[in-house]
Amino acid sequence: MRTFAVLGISCWSGFMLMALELLSGRILAPTFGSSIYVWGAIITIFMLALSIGYLIGGRLSMSVPDIRVLCGLHFLSGLLVLPILAFQAPVLDSIFDYTQDPRGGALMASIILFFLPAMVCGTVAPYAVRLLVEDPKSAGFYAGLQYFFSTAFSAAGTLLTSFYFVLIFEVNQILLLLMGTTMLMAVAAFLISRRRAS
């Protein structure tokens, strides 16, 4: 059950990250358009946020690994979607008043709205690998297993969001769904870990 919970969090984290990245284009489009400049800004900020998240997650995993820490990181990544829901309109309006340049404007908006949730998502993967590895000889296998599932669910998040979710739901409804599912999964995994500990 512990391994299932760790892999479940890792899979959903990948799903949520790619869904959020796609939705970020829809969020910025009414203000800055959907040109290659906007998508270049979005992808750059998400990649930078992930790279920092990987470093933080790897550093955190060097102490005694605890699934409750992983649950807390996952819960926080979901909670950080809330400021996007609450502040996207005033943030975009303020940036547009400052600059109408889609390059600079999209970069600033992506940093303010999406950097933190993407970064915290990045902490999940290396921490999950550390929880899965018990024998150093199997570290490569479990790292590959974790990244296989995480990347597969990232692909699923990309397809489902772009092909179906945006046709059925509004952007804010999808964000709420992502946030709620992420936080519920974190709580469920935490409860599983407590049951195992007792």
Residues in the chain: 198
CATH of 2-197, one of 1.10.10, 1.10.3470, 1.25.40, 1.20.1250: 1.20.1250
Query: According to the model, what pLDDT value does residue 22 have?
Result: 95
C-alpha to C-alpha distance for 136 and 149, rounded to whole angstroms: 20
Question: How many other C-beta atoms lie within 10 A of the C-beta of residue 163?
Answer: 9
CB 189 within 8 Å of CB 67:
yes
Query: According to the model, what pLDDT value does residue 198 have?
Result: 54
**pLDDT tens across 88-124, in order?**
999 999 999 999 999 999 999 999 999 999 999 999 9
C-alpha to C-alpha distance for 70 and 57, rounded to whole angstroms: 9
Query: According to the model, what pLDDT value does residue 178 have?
Result: 97
Query: According to the model, what pLDDT value does residue 33 have?
Result: 95
C-alpha to C-alpha distance for 84 and 65, rounded to whole angstroms: 30
Domain extent listing, the chain: 2-197
Query: According to the model, what pLDDT value does residue 143 have?
Result: 86
Query: According to the model, what pLDDT value does residue 2 have?
Result: 80
pLDDT under 50: residue ranges of the chain: none
- Which residues, 6+ apart, have CB-to-CB distance to 91 below 8 Å? 109, 112, 113
